[in-house]
Structure 1
Amino acid sequence: MAILIILGFYTELVAAPIAVRLVEGTAHGLLLVRSISGEILGHGDFLQVVHPDRIESRLVLRFKDGSLHDENVAFSQQGVFMMLRYRLVQRGPSFPETLDAVLDRKTRSYKVQSTRQGKEETLTGSIELPPDVYNGMPPMLLKNLGSGATETVHIVAFTPKPRMIQLEMVPVGTQRLSTGETARQGTRYALKPKLGAALRAFATLLGKSPDDQECVILTEDVPAFVRCDGPLYVKGPIWRIEMISPR
């Protein structure tokens, strides 16, 4: 399950990649997008396909107003999770700009095409991706954390130029979940962008200080994604992306 945090600040610390505790496989999940008031804004799909050398995961959200959020990530899982390639497409009235951004570990390259208020911009260049960069992967990583564990990784942000920020994933409490007449136990995780004092002041000055996000993971037996609350772009509204079952 994919989730996005967008801000343009670089941090020096590189953490170790996340170890694979649960191997990912082929999957198809149905999603619902809601506002914080509960209004249904759109629907989506989580699609995952296994290849001999990689897993390809895709999050597609289609909004009622015609907007699209399409996030694709290819990764390997040979002992540790490693992001190989990432692409994000956002367009439509739900977003402040049209964005098509690509990262490629093998070619050490990026390409970002954006349009904001009628102004088009294309950026290309080289980028070194450390092993703990996990665009589009945090909710999946949460399923692989040990009980009570906190981890810090990196996310590449598009401003529109790609930059890196740290992302701390912290368990903040339990969540009672109901499935019909059955109660289950989940864990709430806060996803916290970490900025030093100077960067926090700079971010506040620019109005680009990122919000925390929260995800809920079913932690009984085999972990499973339940929902995430947060913006899909910097200073965007808080939306809930949740797994649903067909009826």
Structure 2
Amino acid sequence: MKRNDALVAAFFAMTLCATAAAEPVSVKHIQRPMHRFMVVRSEDGKTIARGEFSQVVQGDEVTMRLTYHFVDGSIDDEATTYQQRGTFRLVRNHHIQKGPYFTKPIDFTVEAATRIVTSRTIDKNGKIHVESKHMDLPDDLANGFVGTLLLNVPHNTTPFRVGMLAPVGGGRLIRLLISPEDEQTVHLAGQTLKATVFRIHPELGGIVGVIARLIGLQPKDVMVWVREGEEPAVLVVVGQLGGYGPVVSSDLVGSSFGK
């Protein structure tokens, strides 16, 4: 679905942040090197992209990268480095979305240590514009590794919030409310496993939330299925890519739901 880019930027510029204090998630499961594959399907079950996930660990720093290659040639490429030292803390995040699938391409970098946020855009004449600015970022900023946080909270956790820097208007801080929903059975590589379903709700409060619903810019909730146990894993993510457009399902290759 097409979006008016100026309207999107103006809307997020109005977004009100929740007042909840930063609450970094404690490390329960140390992340290790891994390499996995994902498949993205539309609501009618058609495969629209395939993804590759890799994770490298150096000391207490983890660098993860998730790249989706779409059948129409589009690319969604996100690289994130975070620390797992008692609690999880973002180091840097670089997210690129480009191609016909995305009506508003992005090239957005967050350097948490220096608190520098950089946006790269290309105008209609092909000229590259780079805008960098200093921002007051919360300690619980979770760009790029919300899924990792879900691996480290109990299945019956109380709802909690984390920060997210949206790549619009040079960077707009919003809050995500994360709540456990229920448990479901998932089949993976011949095993029947229990998974906790988490709901991620972007909080747009007050008049902003009302306007969002009226003009159709309210981001939809994201649902995440997380395998329980000693080695938890994100199995399925259902939501919008980039916070707008159609809802898609990103599944770990080999996973399916029990009836």
Relative to the length of structure 2, the TM-score reads 0.86
- 1:216 and 2:225 are equivalent in the alignment: yes
Deviates more, 1:87-96 or 1:228-237: 228-237
Q: Which residue of 1 aligns with 2:3?
A: none
Q: How many angstroms apart in 1 are the aligned matches of 2:122 and 2:218?
A: 22
For residues 46-65 of structure 1, the aligned pairs below 5 Å read 46-65=53-72
TM-aligned CA distance change 1:123 to 1:207, over 3 Å: farther
1:138 counterpart (135, 140, 146): 146
Contact 1:33 1:239 in 2 (8 A): yes
Note if 1:70 corresponds to 2:77.
yes
CA deviations over 1:50-86 (Å, ceiling 9, x no partner): 1135111111000011100000111001000000101
Number of the residue aligned with 2:156: 148
> Where is the helix percentage greater, Structure 1 or Structure 2?
2
Aligned partner of 2:40 in structure 1 is 33
- Residue 212 of structure 2: aligned partner: 203
Q: Is contact 2:150–2:226 with CA below 8 Å preserved after alignment?
A: yes
Q: Which runs of 5+ in 1 are unaligned?
A: 1-5
Match of 1:104 in 2: 111
**How many percent identity over aligned positions?**
26
What does residue 3 of structure 1 align with?
none
2:236 counterpart residue number: 227
Please tell me the residue identity of whatever aligns with 1:220.
G
Distance, in Å, in 2 between the alignment partners of 1:117 and 1:207 is 26
Q: Secondary structure at the match of 2:149?
A: helix
Post-superposition shift, 1:181? Answer: 5.6
Q: 1:244 to 1:181 in 2, by over 3 A?
A: closer
Give the conservation status (yes or no) of the 8 Å contact 2:35–2:53: yes
Task: Give CA deviations for 1:121-180 in whole Å, capped at 9, x if unaligned.
Answer: 543211122111000111111111113112211111012420111101111111111246
With normalisation by structure 1, the TM-score equals 0.90
SS of equivalent to 2:199: strand
Count residues in correspondence.
Answer: 240
- When the two chains are superposed, the root-mean-square deviation of aligned CA atoms in Å is 2.1
AA partner of residue 141 (structure 1)? L
Q: Deviations over 1:16-38 (max 9, x none)?
A: 10110111111111111111111
1:157-196 matches, within 5 Å, as: 157-179=166-188, 182-196=191-205
Distance between the aligned counterparts of 2:107 and 2:88, measured in 1? 24
User: What's 1:123 paired with?
Assistant: 131
